[in-house]
Structure 1
Amino acid sequence: MRTVLAASGAALLPLAFAAPAAASGSDDAQVAVFHGVPGLTVDVYANGDVLLEDFEPGTITDPVELPAGSYELEVFPAGADAEAEDPAISATADVPAGANITVAAHLDEGGTPTLTPFVNDVSGLDAGDARLTVRHTAAAPAVDVRAGGDPVIEGLTNPNEETLELPAGSVSADVVLAGTDTVAIGPADLDLAEGVSTIVYAWGSAEDENLALAVQTIDGLESSPSGVPSGTGGLVSDALPWQLALVGVLGAGTVLVLGGRAVRASRD
């Protein structure tokens, strides 16, 4: 895996984040990182300073407040000498003021490590509603998601996402290969809380049979927020089988989406 990362990620990749779904009125942005590259614990640097250490696959950081500006992100195998070795993955990220972003380090459909920024929708929800976002960040083919036997998300491919707003409650869902009735997993019940955005990352590799799930939530969306809501980091969970299948059939997002503790990053 280290060889693959070094070979595929040595080039600098420019990233420009889209405009945030809702602005906070502050110059600071809320930035979370998702680590969706299997089999490699990493250290993450921002503008030459350590942002995350010993960041394990399948984890999402809590949001970190970063001033708007340009950041050079570099990902190294954990413990590597950042001054002597080339980064496994690198990118320049322009972070706009007031954004709520998850940066996902993950595999593309062909299995090559990459970075994808996702702008989190933090717009207000109507009373009684919840938001569900599914992000495909796995080395896996396209899938459909069904609720009650009817497709609600069709042909979802890496590195794309689909968002649904629906009444809060329990949803019976399953995942099938795109355009077929071949069930990958499910049906299973998914509980969606009122005023909460639930972001599901499908990550890993179907070929390597290590598909997994990471979940990020953003609460406080019952009405238009006066600030950018803070998300809560999610961990890999085998207790959400239908989402796990979606990954495999993801690691943002939401949502890099590399996780550990928050460390302030320096700014250009």
Structure 2
Amino acid sequence: MQLSIFRRVAAGGAVATLTFAGVGAVTMSPAYAASSKVSVVHGIPDTPVDVYVNGKKTLDNFKPGDVAGPLSLAEGAYDIALTKPGEAIDKAILSVDDAEVPGGANISLAAHLDAAGKPKITPFVNDTSKVDAGKARLIVRHTAAAPAVDVRAGGTPVFEDLTNPNEAKGDVDAGTVKADVVLAGTDTVAIGPADLTLKGGTATVVYAIGSAEARNLDLVAQNITGLHSAPGGVPSGTGGRAGTGVDTWWYVLADAGALLLVGGGARVATARTGRR
């Protein structure tokens, strides 16, 4: 497995108002309100989705393995639902109601499978603290329907006994490493090996996605730049597929997932009526 298994895209821009296809304008909180940077990872295998916002379809056929963002979004509240392409909203596979967006955070939202293979949404707060000169940050997130794993670099475990939906991280020397994922405590390779380039002053976030039972485990990577110790730009992440026009819509979904950070949650929905 080569580096091509890692999907990367350019960073998105900031927005204050989102205009939804067929819906009109949805205005965020006032410009002076605190905003969050949000990226989204689609890690549910074999499940392209349509995205509904406040009962209206805003995105068709978004593909698994893609990453969107980041965008800067002000605080707000939304009802979000994900359906299989073409299916009605009352058959949503995931939904979040009245999602309140917190301000001042850098968040990645993963739509993925839990350890039992059920779809879920998990938010992660990204560590955007500075790294020392010549260093890079490696963050590994277990978002696959798979047992505990060890992550190895050059055949040596660097993160051990990682379980879904947890993460492990560390600052390491910048450079290229050959990484793989093995079943915890064994040499049984589940994903990889792959050459992973860790650039100085950045964080590379690697997500294990898919299902061990279905034999479709894969990796998706997100880059967060601007972490040099010397003065530089404001830290921001890269995710998503540049130039597709879908980043804005997935940021709406990311806003919904941010609710999980303040005590809310997503659910698997079986009936959706009375949408506004």
Instruction: Give TM class, smaller chain.
Output: 0.7 to 0.9
| C-alpha separation in 1, matches of 2:218 and 2:192 | 15
Amino acid at match of 1:155: D
Q: Contact (CA 8 Å) 2:43, 2:112: kept in 1 or not? A: yes
Residue 90 of structure 1 is matched in structure 2 by: 95
Residue 260 of structure 1 is matched in structure 2 by: 246
Residue 76 of structure 1 is matched in structure 2 by: 83
| C-alpha separation in 2, matches of 1:32 and 1:187 | 26
Shift of 1:73: 2.3
How many residues get paired? 219
Q: Could you say what secondary structure the match of 1:206 adopts?
A: coil
| C-alpha separation in 2, matches of 1:176 and 1:39 | 23
Q: Could you say what secondary structure the match of 2:138 adopts?
A: strand
Q: Which moved more, 1:223-232 or 1:192-201?
A: 223-232
Q: Contact (CA 8 Å) 1:130, 1:195: kept in 2 or not? A: yes
Q: Could you say what secondary structure the match of 1:158 adopts?
A: coil
Residue 38 of structure 2 is matched in structure 1 by: 31
Q: Contact (CA 8 Å) 1:217, 1:234: kept in 2 or not? A: no
Alignment pair present for 1:62 and 2:91: no
Q: Contact (CA 8 Å) 1:36, 1:137: kept in 2 or not? A: yes
Q: Contact (CA 8 Å) 1:47, 1:265: kept in 2 or not? A: no
Shift of 1:62: 1.5
Q: Could you say what secondary structure the match of 2:38 adopts?
A: strand
- The match for 2:223 among 190, 200, 217 is 217
Residue 15 of structure 1 is matched in structure 2 by: none
Shift of 1:231: 1.7
Residues 79, 72 of structure 1: alpha-carbon distance in 2 compared, 3 angstrom cutoff: same
| C-alpha separation in 1, matches of 2:207 and 2:192 | 17
| C-alpha separation in 2, matches of 1:26 and 1:128 | 36
TM-score (norm 1): 0.72
Residues 49, 133 of structure 1: alpha-carbon distance in 2 compared, 3 angstrom cutoff: farther
Q: Could you say what secondary structure the match of 2:68 adopts?
A: coil
Residue 129 of structure 2 is matched in structure 1 by: 123
TM-score (norm 2): 0.70
| C-alpha separation in 1, matches of 2:216 and 2:189 | 18
Residue 119 of structure 2 is matched in structure 1 by: 113
Q: Could you say what secondary structure the match of 2:103 adopts?
A: coil
Residue 230 of structure 1 is matched in structure 2 by: 236
Alignment pair present for 1:162 and 2:168: yes
Residues 214, 189 of structure 1: alpha-carbon distance in 2 compared, 3 angstrom cutoff: closer
Root mean square deviation of aligned Cα: 2.8
Shift of 1:186: 5.2
Percent of paired sites with the same residue: 56
Residues 225, 210 of structure 1: alpha-carbon distance in 2 compared, 3 angstrom cutoff: farther
Shift of 1:185: 5.3
Q: Could you say what secondary structure the match of 2:36 adopts?
A: strand
Gaps of 5+ in 1: 1-24, 236-258
Amino acid at match of 1:213: L
Shift of 1:226: 7.8
| C-alpha separation in 1, matches of 2:204 and 2:155 | 21
